[in-house]
Structure 1
Amino acid sequence: MPGNTDLLTLQTPCLLLDEARLRANVARMKAHLDSLGVAFRPHLKTAKSLDVARIAMPSSAGPATISTLREAEYFAAGGVCDMIYAVGIAPAKLGRVSAIRASGADLAVILDSVEQADAVAAHAARSGDAIPALIEVDADGHRSGVAPTDTATLVAIGRRVVSGGAELRGVLLHAGDSYALNDPAAIAQAAEAERVAAVTAAEALRNAGLPCPVVSVGATPTARYARDLTGVTEVRAGVFMFGDLYQAGVSSVAMGDLVLSVLATVIGHQKAKGWIIADAGWMALSRDRSTAKQAVDQGYGVVCDLAGQPYPDLIVADANQEHGIIALRKGSTATLPDLPVGSRIRILTNHACATGAQYDRYHVLDGAGGISAIWPRINGW
C-alpha cells in the first residue's frame, strides 16, 4: 500500500513499525553472528509476517524458527522451506506436522521425553514421514529440556526417535534465565553456559553413536553478548528485531533501537489527578507488566510524541480494556505535556510479542513520518 498516509488520519489504536530500525537491528545481529562463525535461524514468533521474515532470514526460503503450527503453515505457503517448530511436540499435532512437510517444507520438531520420542517414532513408522526431531536441552533450569549431563535420558530419547525411522537432527537450547540479567558481562557468562550445555549434550549423543548435526542455541540476550560459539552450528533469536522496554531494561537493546509503537489518540483528561486518557488500553498494549520487576517500572508503556521521542517521565501508568491512563512517573519533577483531546501519541510497550499479538498488520513508517506500506501479520495456533 504505497503512499504517505499521515499519522493524524489513521484509525487508532494501530501498530507502527520503523523499517529503518528493523533493518539496522537485523544487520547488527547478522554481523555479530558472522563474526562468531555460526549460522542464523531467526525466530519469527514475534514478527508473524512474511515481510519481516524476508528481511530477517538469510534467504527467502529460510532457515527460520517458529512457535506455532499456524506460523509454519503461513510461512510454508510463503515459500519458507526450512523451519524448526521450537515448542515441545504434542503427539496429536504430528499429523498436522506431516501435512506441512508434505507441502514441501522441511519442518522439524523438538522433544524432551521418551514418551514424545515414542510418539514421533510411531508416527514415522505408520506414516512413512521421517520427521526430523531435535532434543531440547535444559540450559539453565528455566523451562523445558533434558539436563545436558543426563546422558542416559538423552541417549534413550535419541534411540527411540530413530527406532521408528524418524530422524534425529540434533539438540536445541534456550537460555531463558538470561532475560533476568541486565549486566553484559553476566549475560556473556550465561551465553557461555548455554554453549557448554549444548556441546556437552551433543557430545553425549555422538559418543553413543547417534547423529547430532545441529547444535542450536538462542535467546536475544545471549545471542547479542556471546563471545565464543565453538561447537554451536546455529543461533536462534527473534525479539531483538523489534526490541521492547523489557529488552531495553536488560541491556539487550537500546531505547533508540525499538521498532514497534502503538499509535493512540488522547480522548480525555482527569486534571485533578494529573491524568491524560488515551484510546489504547491493555487490549492495545497487552497486559504485560514485566518491567515492574526491573529497576525502572515503565507501567504499560512509555509515551512519545509523533516523532517517537519520549516525553520526560510520561508513562501509561494504568490501563483498562480500552482506556490508557497516562501520568508522570511517581516522584517525577517533569511537567505534564499539553496534549488536548485529539492529540496523537506513540507508546513504546513492554513486550513486543504480546503487543504484536493484538494486531493483524503493521503500518510501516517511512523516513518522513508517514506510512510507506502495510505489512500483514497473522495470529493463532
Structure 2
Amino acid sequence: MPMPADVMDLETPCLLLDEQRLRANVARMKTHLASLGVAFRPHLKTAKSLDVARIAMTSPSGPATVSTLREAEYFAAGGVRDMIYAVGIAPAKLPRVSAIRAAGADLAVILDSIEQADAVAAHATRTGDAIPALIEIDADGHRSGVAPDDAATLVAIGQRLATGGAALRGVLLHAGDSYALNNPAAIADAAEAERIAAVTAANALRSAGLPCPIVSVGSTPTARYARDLTGVTEVRAGVFMFGDLYQAGVSSVDFGDIALSVLATVIGHQKAKGWIIVDAGWMALSRDRGTAKQAVDQAYGQVCDLAGRLYPDLVVADANQEHGIVALRKGAAAALPDLPIGARIRILTNHACATGAQYDRYHVLDAAGAVSAVWPRVNGW
C-alpha cells in the first residue's frame, strides 16, 4: 500500500511523530549527560520502536532499558544486545529471560528482595545461565526498592546472588517522586538526592567486597536538571524523547519540544454547548488525566492545528470511548475556532506512554509537516 504523503490522506485517529523534534530532544539530552560524564541508557518503554531506538541509543547494539519482556524480545531481534529489564523480576519470567539471553542479548533483571535473589540464583544453578541482576534502590519512597542505607539487606541480596551462581551487576534507582515537582531547582535537588542514594547503596555493596559496576539512575525530570552525577555510571530516561503535557507541566520539556500528537477529524458540533466533536476519544488519547493535579489541567489534551500551532485555550474537555469533545477552557477569552466537518486537528496528550500504547505505528512527519515514513511499534508484555 503506498504511503500517504499528506496528513489529510491518513485515516484517523492516528499517531503522529515529529522527527525533527524527536532528534532535537535526544541530541539535547545526550549533550547534557556527556557534559556530566555519564553514559546514556535510553528507556524505550515510551517509544517501543526500533526506529526510535536507533536514534536514541549510542550504538545499534545499545545500551537500552525496557519495561516488558515483549520489548526485550523485539529489540533483541533488531540487534540490541545490552538491555536492562527495569521492572522487578517475577520468578515465572526467568525462563523467558534466559531464552532472550540465549538468542544473544545481554539482558539483566532487577530485584529488591532476598526471595527474588533466591529465585534468580536457583534458576542460574538449574540452567547454568548466570543472569545478571541489579538491586533496585528506593530513593524517595515512591515505589519499589531497598532503602539506600539498609546495608544489611543490600549485602544479603548481593551475597545470595553471588553464592548462587547469578551475577550482581549493580544498583538501579528511579526518582519517581520528581514527577510531583515543577520547579527546576527542586528537581535538581531531587536529582542530587537520587545520586546520593545510589552512591550510598553502591558503597555499601563494595564495602562488603561485592561488585557494583553499574550505578544506574534516571527519570526524565532529574536527567534534565541534574547538576552533578559523580559516582553514577549511567542515566536512564525515555519520555523526554517525545514529551507530553504532563512533562511540560513539571518543566521537564517545553511545549515546543512535544513531538507526539494524535491526528483527529471533526465529525460533529453541538453549537449551543460550544462543543466540537472529533473521532478521537479516550481509546485514542488514553484515560490518563495526570495533569488534573497540576497547576494547569489539560483535560484530555490540548488542541493544535495541522502545523502543530496551539489553539488558545482549546482542549479535549471530555471523552467517550470513540468521541472527543473539544471545547474552550472554562472562563477562556478565546473564540471557538471554525472547524467544519472533515477538518483535521492535532491533539497533544497528557502521557505519551499511555497514548502510544493504543497504536501499532507512528506516522513520521518531516520538517515540512509531510508524512515521510511509517515506523512500527510493539505493544504487549
Q: Which residue of 1 aligns with 2:201?
A: 201
Is the Cα contact below 8 Å between 1:2 and 1:372 reproduced in 2?
Answer: no
User: Once the two structures are superposed, what CA deviation does each residue of 1:104-135 show, in whole Å capped at 9, x if it has no partner?
Assistant: 00000000000000000000000000000000
Say which is worse superposed, 313-322 or 364-373, in terms of deviation: 364-373
User: Once the two structures are superposed, what CA deviation does each residue of 1:129-150 show, in whole Å capped at 9, x if it has no partner?
Assistant: 0000000000100000000000
CA drift of 1:222 comes to 0.2
Please list every run of 5 or more consecutive structure 2 residues that lacks an aligned counterpart in the other structure.
none
Does 1:243 pair with 2:240?
no
Query: Runs of at least 4 residues of structure 1 off by over 4 A?
Result: 1-4
Amino acid of the residue matched to residue 234 of structure 1? E
Pairing 1:225-236 to 2, within 5 Å after superposition: 225-236=225-236
- TM-score normalized by the length of structure 2: 0.99
Q: Which residue of 2 aligns with 1:46?
A: 46
Is the Cα contact below 8 Å between 1:172 and 1:215 reproduced in 2?
Answer: yes
Take 1:366 and 1:4, find their aligned partners in 2: how far apart are those partners?
13
CA drift of 1:158 comes to 0.4
Give the SS at the match of 1:80. coil
Pairing 1:206-285 to 2, within 5 Å after superposition: 206-285=206-285
Is the Cα contact below 8 Å between 2:4 and 2:10 reproduced in 1?
Answer: no
Q: Residues 2 and 181 of structure 1: is their aligned pair in 2 closer, same or farther, counting only changes over 3 Å?
A: farther
Amino acid of the residue matched to residue 114 of structure 1? I
Q: Which residue of 2 aligns with 1:5?
A: 5
Give the SS at the match of 1:8. helix
Take 1:302 and 1:134, find their aligned partners in 2: how far apart are those partners?
39
Is the Cα contact below 8 Å between 2:154 and 2:205 reproduced in 1?
Answer: yes
CA drift of 1:164 comes to 1.3
Is the Cα contact below 8 Å between 2:362 and 2:375 reproduced in 1?
Answer: yes
Give the superposed CA RMSD. 0.8
Amino acid of the residue matched to residue 102 of structure 2? A
Q: Which residue of 2 aligns with 1:97?
A: 97
User: Once the two structures are superposed, what CA deviation does each residue of 1:199-249 show, in whole Å capped at 9, x if it has no partner?
Assistant: 000000000010001000000000000000000000000000000000000
Amino acid of the residue matched to residue 35 of structure 2? S
Amino acid of the residue matched to residue 37 of structure 1? G
Please list every run of 5 or more consecutive structure 1 residues that lacks an aligned counterpart in the other structure.
none
Give the SS at the match of 2:364. strand
Q: Which residue of 2 aligns with 1:364?
A: 364
CA drift of 1:48 comes to 0.3
Take 1:116 and 1:356, find their aligned partners in 2: how far apart are those partners?
31
CA drift of 1:3 comes to 6.2
Does 1:155 pair with 2:161?
no
Q: Which residue of 2 aligns with 1:61?
A: 61
Q: Report the number of matched residues.
A: 381
Amino acid of the residue matched to residue 132 of structure 1? P
User: Once the two structures are superposed, what CA deviation does each residue of 1:245-270 show, in whole Å capped at 9, x if it has no partner?
Assistant: 00000000000000000000000000
Is the Cα contact below 8 Å between 1:2 and 1:373 reproduced in 2?
Answer: no
Take 2:110 and 2:7, find their aligned partners in 1: how far apart are those partners?
43
Is the Cα contact below 8 Å between 2:278 and 2:324 reproduced in 1?
Answer: yes
CA drift of 1:103 comes to 0.2
Is the Cα contact below 8 Å between 2:139 and 2:175 reproduced in 1?
Answer: yes
Question: Quick one: percent identity of the two aligned structures?
Answer: 85
